[in-house]
Structure 1
Amino acid sequence: MREVRWASEEGAGIEHLAFDASGGTIRVESVVVGQRYGKAYGLCYTVHCDAHWRVTYAAFRVMGGGALALHGDGEGHWRDGEGRALDAIEGCIDIDLSATPFTNTLPIRRLRLARGERRPIRVVYIAAPDLTPVAVRQAYTCIEPDREYRYEGLFRKFAANLPVDEDGLVIDYPTLFRRLPPPGPSH
């Protein structure tokens, strides 16, 4: 189990994430305290992936607000928490939660791009705190394998180079998130 933290570059937000990639699956639990459009929120989320970094389960809950559960089969078919098919996001493999740099890790690891390779994809975009899943177009380009990738939000004309660590977790996301150093030993 590994834990990392990011601070928001846009406000007083912070995220604490627990990451476990042992046993052939990936499991993440996280809590985010953030703000969007001047409104503060607290959000907890869980993401489970198979060994190929395909999302099989994701759950999001806003404190005092809404919740969303997604069940994926790794092939682009999704169901909600009640088992209903979600046709609007059919064909998407990855998810992108606006409140965290973690979800950029999913396509970075899953696509396994070679240096200079660029791949446009459709992803399930989930804006916090409203939690409405929509399909959007993004692209990833490998600048340096296992070290740096370029993210393009084609649906909003935004791009950023993302340095990653040995687990593929984003270190810094220019203008949005900055990794915090691990806490030192307490005295």
Structure 2
Amino acid sequence: MKRVRWSQRDGAGLEYVALDARPDAVVIESTIVGESEADAFGAMYRIECDARWQVTRLAVKLAGGAAIDLTRKDGDNGAAHAWTDASGAPQEGLRGCIDVDISATPFTNTLPIRRLQLQPGERRVIRVVYVHVPAMNVRAVEQAYTCLDADGRYRFEGLDTGFSAEITVDQDGLVVDYPGLFKRIA
């Protein structure tokens, strides 16, 4: 079990993550106390992945508020990367997404970094389930990751927004430095 903490660069928030990587699955649980657009919030999330770091379930709960519970399955009838909500209703707008991105945490960068295993100079465009916390809006977006070097530097690009950042990760793909947004606490 690996445990990691991050703080928001502006000092307004803190996150604690417990990462349990087993041979057959990866489970991440986290608690966040943060601030976004001057609104303080508390949230918990749980992400379940298969052994290849492909997300199979995402659950996000806002303290005192909304909850999101999504499951991804690869069907036998060509329903690749099909998502459903907690009641089993299909979420067609999320089809094709493997990874998730929760706005309030740097952890979700780890998912595509571990899954894609990019080589230095390699860039990949992916489609992800994006969850904006605390608004709890869910939509599919396109992002890109580029491995800048073998020392754990990556360029993250939000292709829908034009946002770009160079992030540094450790040997486990966990963010150490996300300029302007998050920093790891030793």
Paired residues of 1:146 and 1:168 also in contact (CA < 8 A): no
Alignment match, 1:98:
103
Q: Is the partner of 1:155 in helix, strand or coil?
A: coil
Alignment match, 2:30:
30
Structure 1's 14 and 125: CA in aligned 2 closer, same or farther, altered over 3 A?
same
Q: Distance in 1 between matches of 2:65 and 2:104?
A: 15
Q: How far did 1:123 drift?
A: 0.8
Q: How far did 1:109 drift?
A: 0.9
Q: Which amino acid is the alignment partner of residue 130 of structure 1?
A: A
Q: Distance in 2 between matches of 1:142 and 1:110?
A: 13
Identity among equivalent positions (%) equals 49
- 1:174-185 matches, within 5 Å, as 174-181=179-186
Paired residues of 1:95 and 1:125 also in contact (CA < 8 A): yes
Q: Distance in 2 between matches of 1:73 and 1:145?
A: 32
Q: Distance in 2 between matches of 1:25 and 1:166?
A: 19
Moved more, 143-152 or 119-128: 143-152
Alignment match, 2:143:
138
Q: Distance in 1 between matches of 2:10 and 2:89?
A: 36
User: What's the CA shift string for 1:65-116, capped at 9, x where partnerless?
Assistant: 1000010126421011111110111111110000000000111111111110
Q: Is the partner of 1:171 in helix, strand or coil?
A: strand
Paired residues of 1:29 and 1:44 also in contact (CA < 8 A): yes
Paired residues of 1:96 and 1:124 also in contact (CA < 8 A): yes
Q: Which amino acid is the alignment partner of residue 68 of structure 1?
A: I
Paired residues of 1:30 and 1:45 also in contact (CA < 8 A): yes
Q: Is the partner of 2:30 in helix, strand or coil?
A: strand
- 1:72-87 matches, within 5 Å, as 72-73=72-73, 75-87=80-92
Paired residues of 2:22 and 2:51 also in contact (CA < 8 A): no
Matching of residue 165 in structure 1 with residue 170 in structure 2: yes
Alignment match, 1:117:
122
Q: Distance in 2 between matches of 1:136 and 1:10?
A: 26
TM-score (norm 2): 0.93
TM-score (norm 1): 0.93
Q: Distance in 1 between matches of 2:151 and 2:51?
A: 17
- 1:50-89 matches, within 5 Å, as 50-73=50-73, 75-89=80-94
